[in-house]
Structure 1
């Protein structure tokens, strides 16, 4: 089984019910099935609060875990073993006992413009060419703040529902929308890339934290499942998203405030650049700064000193469990599963998140078993340091004002 001895013959995979969520879930299942042909992967669909509340903008609902809470409850109650998410939906701080066990290769992180097929059929359009007062559909404060700066002649209106529903609203004969702003990755995964009329680069609209990346969440103490998932992670994507999530967590942001990022790893693989921006709701104020770090993203996982000690113990002919490994096992909460003891949901507590990182690495909600810890620490530090620079430059004032305005409904979008 590709080097992993797994006692689980069936892995239950939690997913939202939308078409896009199921497409993404089956992409992950196909990857897992390739690595583990002897395991059966069973998809279990679950409806989330974000799927059910469709009459309010996301930023007005006031819940950070709109598309994840019910899935995480199923994980906690042992009803599913893993959950597939769009990583941008996962809050920067996870509930106790939860962890991101895999971050998959990132597709396009950029936003795309889809124009009304009814109003502009056969025309090649761009936002700059739309008439004065054209209505752009989006529920993202981040998108509104940035696009309003670049294209002040446009108006904005909330639009909710899954991709299918939003596109139907866009193309309706008497529809109010001239265009929608959507994640390019979602359109590509649905096979609708031909609807993309324009892709917004970072100069016009920096993207959301972790946009374009899929993630797999599991119980943080389930070492068997963490090992199973580790084969799916894409190193460059993981490090970029780790830095972005650290930025968001340190700024204490969410969908109720406009925060945007741009990140890249150099072609040589030895440095990470993170650019972050905070914006007022109307886009009139912004602070955009950068932070970088150097490391070798293409290197294989470097053994820790304790791992080197284990290897020496075995080389010296000690057939028993090495002392260094025993100490790590006893100090690590994941070991409870490794020793064959099922951990009930009531036993999950914050202690699973506060173990020593050299033993059980946990970075911005991500456990990456195949990457050097110092590399993960540097990537996380990039996000933290950039957030502190933004705060020093006045980000807290802009974000706090945005939160107040959003709560009191003095916003820049129309009500639809």
Structure 2
């Protein structure tokens, strides 16, 4: 009997749910048992806003455990990963992506446009804050931190102090709370973060047997979409706290599958935005992302990426 593979995970309910899902899928696909190993990250210990914490704050402890051989592989929310690859580590699989859109949880079952002017709406990401301002709905946007459960409690709990929150649909669904979503936001209103809803399964690059084993979980269309989105982000060099959004979709074209990539850079106050798109083949996913970033910069996106305070 093979020894269980050690899967490193953050200790939050969402991280554990995601990791257990991956563990079960891997065992089902390969027969190998998997045990979860909880790792505490700096991001879990801090109450500071995500924009101040910086890119990779939820990732570094997991990667250190990988390099120290304390775990065999790790599951990350892909949008938490820095855009630069880590030497010695390898993204062995990108499983089937959850719905990448943002979701609204509002009191009284309201949708975004039904919220009265002056309503207090909470969210953590600068990207969401900028796009909420850009909609011009006269909402009071409040930066918030915390896990999915604590955010939803601020709207639906006994001590609710907000009228609504916006958060990634994928996390709400993975925790089994999809019924509380009052609206899934159209990307034309709220373009998601690059790689939102996707997981990255990472292991040591020199562990050839595990690289091969984990490949059973890879979903090529999901990997192509995320590759395009993150190539755009990396070329913009914005990191995850700048107001950058991207959404890639794969669809059948006349000559096989095509990627349709939309990207946006929004000023933090929502007053200005540059929104563009590009298409191409999945094989050229990274190049499509780089080209769209260049288009955005040519259109003045770099003048919008100033202060994100």
- The reply on whether 1:247 has 2:232 as its aligned counterpart is yes
d(CA) in 1 for partners of 2:87 and 2:121? 39
1:173, distance to aligned residue in structure 2 (A): 4.1
Moved over 4 A (4+): none
Per the alignment, residue 290 of structure 1 pairs with: 277
Per the alignment, residue 21 of structure 1 pairs with: 15
For the residue of structure 2 that corresponds to 1:270, the secondary structure is: strand
Give 1 or 2 for the bigger CA radius of gyration: 1
1:152, distance to aligned residue in structure 2 (A): 3.0
- The reply on whether 1:382 has 2:295 as its aligned counterpart is no
d(CA) in 2 for partners of 1:80 and 1:243? 29
d(CA) in 2 for partners of 1:151 and 1:231? 45
Match of 2:300 among 394, 399, 406: 394
1:8, distance to aligned residue in structure 2 (A): 6.0
Per the alignment, residue 262 of structure 2 pairs with: 275
Contact 2:10 2:38 in 1 (8 A): yes
Matched residues, number: 307
Match of 1:233 among 218, 225, 231: 218
1:158, distance to aligned residue in structure 2 (A): 1.6
Per the alignment, residue 50 of structure 2 pairs with: 58
For the residue of structure 2 that corresponds to 1:274, the secondary structure is: strand
CA deviations 1:47-86 (Å, max 9, x no partner) are 11111111x210022x211110100000011111100111
d(CA) in 2 for partners of 1:95 and 1:233? 19
Match of 2:27 among 8, 13, 33: 33
d(CA) in 2 for partners of 1:188 and 1:10? 28
1:12, distance to aligned residue in structure 2 (A): 0.7
Contact 2:155 2:161 in 1 (8 A): yes
Match of 1:49 among 28, 42, 52: 42
d(CA) in 1 for partners of 2:124 and 2:113? 20
CA deviations 1:129-185 (Å, max 9, x no partner) are 112111111011111111221143101112111112222233344532100101111
- Structure 1 gap ranges (5+): 1-6, 296-374, 410-416
Equivalence map 1:10-159=2 (5 Å): 10-37=4-31, 39-54=32-47, 56-61=48-53, 63-116=54-107, 120=108, 124-159=109-144
Contact 1:110 1:201 in 2 (8 A): yes
CA deviations 1:274-301 (Å, max 9, x no partner) are 1110010011111111111135xxxxxx
d(CA) in 1 for partners of 2:250 and 2:221? 7
d(CA) in 2 for partners of 1:131 and 1:379? 41
d(CA) in 2 for partners of 1:174 and 1:232? 41
Q: Which moved more, 1:140-149 or 1:232-241?
A: 140-149
CA RMSD of aligned residues (A): 1.5
d(CA) in 1 for partners of 2:258 and 2:182? 33
1:106, distance to aligned residue in structure 2 (A): 0.9
Match of 1:160 among 145, 165, 172: 145
d(CA) in 1 for partners of 2:175 and 2:136? 28
d(CA) in 2 for partners of 1:98 and 1:233? 16
d(CA) in 1 for partners of 2:33 and 2:159? 47
Contact 1:136 1:156 in 2 (8 A): yes
Match of 1:183 among 160, 164, 168: 168
1:385, distance to aligned residue in structure 2 (A): 0.9
Contact 2:6 2:35 in 1 (8 A): yes
Contact 2:80 2:240 in 1 (8 A): no
